[in-house]
Structure 1
Amino acid sequence: MTQAGARMVLVSAIASGQGKTTVTAALARRCLDMGQRVRVFKVGPDFIDPMLLERASGAPVHTLDLWMVGLESCRRQLAAAAVDADVVLIEGVMGLYDGQPSAADLARSFDIPVLAVIDAGAMAQTAGAVVLGLRDYGPVRLAGVVANRVGSERHAQMVRDSLRGVPLLATLPKQAQKMPERHLGLVTPGEVEHIDTLLDTLADQLQLDDAAWDALAPQLPEQALPQEPAAPLLAGKTVAIARDAAFCFLYAANLDTLREMGARLVFFSPLLDEPVPGEADIVWLPGGYPELHGATLAGAGSWRESIRTAHAAGKPILAECGGMMAVAGSITDQDGRTWPMAGLLPGDVTMQKRLGALGAQGLATSHGLLRGHTFHYSRLDTPLTPSARTVKHPSGAEGEAVYRAGSLTATYFHAFFQSNPVAACDLLMGEAR
């Protein structure tokens, strides 16, 4: 018997900071507790929120973005999830209508109802005006409302009465403990003590209107065009990937793309002073938080010597954002302390209080545009002249620099490999052009 589909909602809000991630995590854990199979997606470029949502749902969290990921790839992922799961939750990005494309654009593209999260901590009846504005501005199909930071049942009733027939699908009380944040967003789940207890508490505190939830009809998005298999450009190659608390910004789709191109993946931890695996043909240092681990990385002699040896041997090395910071001459952290790094890239990195760059960008190559994004609070001062620059989306303005130093390719740009596997392979191999 063919499954009729899954209950699908896009969780969004009027702005960042309303509690989208908290509500999505609580709802995912609540559905799991009810014995339902749950899949969660995240709209837009993001590494950190998916880590928490993966912990809450027990399944990998992939990215949906009409520009970076593409319409048909998003369709394929949603159609597959609707067959495999009972519930599909999609956390939006920023406010519902922010960005080009926005979370609302994604919802309308696949006729997915929106679940509006309202921070009701400092409002009551005005919630109705906010919700009706979110619904009608686009418009979007509205599944209901989750009122976050509700103070009492009377407070919840005032919000409910203001909604003019829109279901108050759930409420969540003010939290004694909230997920801590830092300059790039939430801290990673591994850094939060008793994270599963916190998620269980959120699920228990989510007051769900079961009748309104059950009234949401399952959906089965139409099948997408078949995906062309990636060319086996990395067949027989071993890609060594740094992965630990300092190098944790990895799209699951990027790893999938490398495997689809035939690569064998091995992982190592610079923080544990693990050297680059000797069998590596290519080394990838992804983004993360090296600035939080300056002392450890500075003291990791085996790791530093091994990456220098790989560079001297001409092995292709891709150093992406935090990875680039770790192969520069030094990092000066938020407290003004300077830590020596691997020194493959001439220049030094300094953390700063103001945002360095944020947004979607693409790298033009002979194989077409390789899409991705940037997000950092540091700056690199280097004498090198960039070998290329990305282009900001949608403005077309000049974006991040791409540097070459021997076999090293280094940039703040986070490439989404699936958007152009051939160009991603060239970037990894140091042959991007």
Structure 2
Amino acid sequence: MNTANASCPALFIAAPSSGQGKTTVTAALARALRNQGKVVRVFKTGPDYLDPQVLAQAAGQPVDQLDLWMAGEAYCRQRFYEAAQTADMILVEGAMGLFDGEPSSADLAALFDLPLVVVMDVKGMAQTAGALLAGLAGFRDDIRIVGLIANNCGSQRHRELIETTLPQGIPLLAAIARNPELALPERHLGLVQADEIRDDLEVRFEKGASVVEAENLPQTLLTLPPVTFTAPADVVTVDLPSLAGRTIGVAKDAAFSFIYQANLDLLEQMGAQLRFFSPLTDSNLPSCDALWLPGGYPEIHSATLAANSAMRAAIRQFFIDDKPILAECGGLLYCLETLTDYDDTTHTMLGLLPGHGAMRGRRGCQGMQTAALPEGPVRGHAHHRSMAEGTPEPIAHGERQRHPAPGEAIFRDRRLTATYLHLFFANNPAAIALLFSGKTSPARQPIDFEDTLHAVK
């Protein structure tokens, strides 16, 4: 039995709901610790893509997503164990409210016995903050809340009113004054991508670090008792299927960036060579055996994608050559005939699949689902504010985590697999290896290519 373990101080940063400032506080703490010469490893609960980009820049270290349903306990345990071997501090940012979701942030914290600090936006309240904290602390007996960080605090008097009503044994660790210069910029799916505003983020990180340092918060956290992480009995990278000799082209730029680092790591562990390219700026595909078109923001860059006719022709030829393509969410939109952006302007896309994509305002679709692929089931999630109409009959639908209604459609023409679902590859490496190897047969007979490219001339 594997009994190896590693220890270091760790803290779970949670909140009563979304929008309380968890990411801002986590990034500020990560930068402050980094400025002190500490190695800080940050994890993000759930399937989020955007927060990890920001947190990785703040910490100067890679950020993994941890989700007990999508990734599994063994995967999460292994990531914690590996991080604790080199880190001076582990920070875990929760998702939504502390008890929201199944599994929730509280479930992850309880499983690994992580102490919790609650970030609460206290604008418009005073003593009620203490009541809310007491409710959170007493809701379950398997979690440990060790402090409150009051965000958007108005004054010293405001701080005092909050502090005097906190439950016994749960101190006010910091009161962060209202300051729009600390807040992280957002857009319709969440935070703005880190690469788009890197310099601006640096300014915000340093200001945030100064605020938490003034509260002596980094030093307080480093005095927390170490948490011991035990290596999983079944290491998730043992006996991986092989992709040796296969080269996978990965779209990666401002339009396509919703990529789990864990997915890239797994492909390389299976022996694949990865070559990145930009559908926005490159004229040719790299030499490769398979393509991955991940999610992102093609709707923001649809005019540029449409104008890059050389790249569109290269990907269409790749499709004609019957080579494997995986298109997820934004990648699916790129594969349709057209995409209508938020300005109601329609742009020509690849045309590999019949259908038209369009943005649909603030209403969105999200949730955890299992993609029922012919190669095998792979867990993942959906999160989009667009719709695809006029698409062909899907080969399958995603299976929702806790609801019987059909989930996202899964399309396959030739060796193109396209869906709104974002797949977590480590959930089923064997299925992913088959998908990118091209060894499986298409789910339907190849269609007439000329019938498919309705919008491409």
Task: Give the TM-score of the pair, scaled to structure 2.
Answer: 0.90
Partner of 2:397: 389
- Distance between the aligned counterparts of 1:288 and 1:171, measured in 2? 35
- Distance between the aligned counterparts of 1:346 and 1:423, measured in 2? 26
The gaps in structure 2 that reach 5 residues or longer are: 444-457
TM-aligned CA deviation for residue 105 of structure 1: 0.4
Alignment-mate amino acid for residue 164 of structure 1: P
* Contact 1:143-1:216 at 8 Å conserved across structures: no
Equivalent of 2:268, from 251, 259, 265? Answer: 259
Partner of 2:131: 129
Matches within 5 A, 1:190-339: 190-192=195-197, 193-206=199-212, 207-209=215-217, 212-227=220-235, 228-277=237-286, 279-339=287-347
Which segment drifts farther, 376-385 or 19-28?
Answer: 376-385
Partner of 2:190: 185
Partner of 1:409: 417
Alignment-mate amino acid for residue 176 of structure 1: P
TM-aligned CA deviation for residue 319 of structure 1: 0.8
* Contact 2:47-2:65 at 8 Å conserved across structures: yes
Partner of 2:175: 171
- Distance between the aligned counterparts of 2:230 and 2:29, measured in 1? 25
TM-aligned CA deviation for residue 243 of structure 1: 0.2
**How has the CA–CA distance of structure 1 residues 356 and 127 changed in structure 2, closer, same or farther, with 3 Å as cutoff?**
closer
Alignment-mate amino acid for residue 123 of structure 1: M
RMSD (CA atoms): 1.8
Say whether 1:158 aligns with 2:164. Answer: no
TM-aligned CA deviation for residue 160 of structure 1: 1.6
Partner of 2:38: 36
Count of matched residue positions in the alignment of Structure 1 and Structure 2? 431
* Contact 1:273-1:301 at 8 Å conserved across structures: no
Partner of 1:371: 379
Alignment-mate amino acid for residue 360 of structure 2: Q
State the identity %: 45
- Distance between the aligned counterparts of 2:339 and 2:218, measured in 1? 51
Partner of 1:143: 146
TM-aligned CA deviation for residue 209 of structure 1: 4.3
* Ranges of 4+ aligned residues in structure 1 off by more than 4 Å: 209-212, 365-368
Q: Secondary structure at the match of 2:259?
A: coil
- Distance between the aligned counterparts of 2:196 and 2:321, measured in 1? 36
TM-aligned CA deviation for residue 395 of structure 1: 2.2
Partner of 1:342: 350
Q: Secondary structure at the match of 2:65?
A: strand
* Contact 1:19-1:117 at 8 Å conserved across structures: yes
Post-superposition CA distance 1:60-97 (Å, at most 9, x none): 10011111110111111111211210110000000000
TM-aligned CA deviation for residue 339 of structure 1: 0.6
Say whether 1:351 aligns with 2:391. Answer: no
**How has the CA–CA distance of structure 1 residues 189 and 348 changed in structure 2, closer, same or farther, with 3 Å as cutoff?**
same
Task: Give the TM-score of the pair, scaled to structure 1.
Answer: 0.95
Q: Secondary structure at the match of 1:248?
A: strand
TM-aligned CA deviation for residue 153 of structure 1: 2.2
* Contact 2:32-2:218 at 8 Å conserved across structures: no
**How has the CA–CA distance of structure 1 residues 334 and 210 changed in structure 2, closer, same or farther, with 3 Å as cutoff?**
closer
Alignment-mate amino acid for residue 260 of structure 2: Y
Say whether 1:400 aligns with 2:404. Answer: no
TM-aligned CA deviation for residue 364 of structure 1: 3.2
